[in-house]
């Protein structure tokens, strides 16, 4: 999709209703669906935010940014995610958290970024974070500069993301279950499951409502 065509959709994307939990659960592991809002609240989750950034590549085709986390000693090592992270004491709100983390992790110039929608928060059981995703765009082709937290920049074509063939089932092992069949996205050769897949599912449904 040409970037100008994507930009023409932003007014509707901004105001269309979210799919919420129903959209997220299309790409959620079965075990994840057992967690009710009451149970999540009882865990007193830590706040965090991520940025789903749309941008034109050098051919003016719309892409969305994902990253592969570095292989460190941690719960989400080597997983596919949006740039983002936990709240810092200097962040004025969660949107500021998403923008700051995206700048730190992949070097994007946040002064050229327009945030146009807040999505439904997603709870991540292993790390006890409640993550707020934000949709944003920049009209410039970004020059990425990853930091030590990021192993790989993953630039996904919007057309490929919206293709029904991108959804599949994979047998994965999580921190709370071993070898379970899990719905996922297959994008650029990567298997995207868990919280990021749930966020992507709601984003995809937002486009399908246009």
> Mean of the pLDDT values across residues 177-187?
85
75 pLDDT higher than 60: no
Q: What is the mean pLDDT of the chain?
A: 92
Q: What is the largest CA-CA distance in the chain?
A: 48
Would you say 149 and 158 are in contact if contact means Cβ atoms under 8 Å apart? Answer: no
Cβ atoms < 10 Å from Cβ of 171: 9
The two three-digit tokens of residue 135, written as one number: 């949709």
Between residues 178 and 65, which one has the greater pLDDT? 65
Q: How far is CA 208 from CA 23, 88, 163, 177, 181, in A?
A: 11, 34, 11, 32, 25
| Domain covering 3-208 assigned CATH 3.90.79.10 in the classification | yes
pTM of the predicted structure, to 2 decimals: 0.94
CA angle 190/83/88 to nearest 5° reads: 150
Q: Is 181 helix (H, G, I), strand (E, B) or coil?
A: strand
Q: Residue 155: is it exposed, middle or buried by C-beta count within 10 angstroms (0-12/13-18/19+)?
A: middle
pLDDT at 42: 86
pLDDT of residue 127: 86
pLDDT tens per residue across span 158-169? 999 999 999 999
């Amino acid at each position: 999709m040409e970037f100008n065509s994507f930009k023409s959709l932003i007014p509707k994307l901004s105001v269309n209703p979210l799919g919420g939990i129903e959209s997220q659960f299309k790409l959620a592991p079965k075990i994840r669906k057992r967690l009710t809002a009451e149970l999540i609240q009882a865990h007193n989750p830590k706040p965090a935010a991520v940025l789903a950034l749309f941008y034109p590549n050098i051919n003016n085709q719309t892409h969305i940014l994902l990253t592969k986390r570095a292989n460190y000693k941690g719960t989400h090592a080597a997983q596919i995610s949006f740039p983002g992270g936990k709240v810092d004491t200097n962040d004025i709100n969660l949107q500021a958290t998403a923008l700051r983390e995206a700048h730190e992790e992949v070097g994007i110039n946040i002064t050229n970024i327009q945030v146009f929608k807040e999505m439904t928060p997603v709870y991540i059981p292993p790390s006890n974070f409640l993550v707020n995703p934000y949709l944003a765009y920049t009209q410039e082709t970004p020059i990425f500069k990853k930091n030590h937290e990021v192993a790989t920049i993953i630039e996904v074509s919007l057309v490929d993301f919206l293709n029904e063939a991108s959804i599949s089932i994979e047998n994965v092992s999580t921190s709370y279950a071993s070898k379970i069949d899990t719905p996922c996205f297959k994008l650029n050769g990567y298997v995207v499951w868990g919280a990021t897949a749930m966020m992507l599912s709601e984003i995809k449904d937002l486009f399908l409502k246009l």
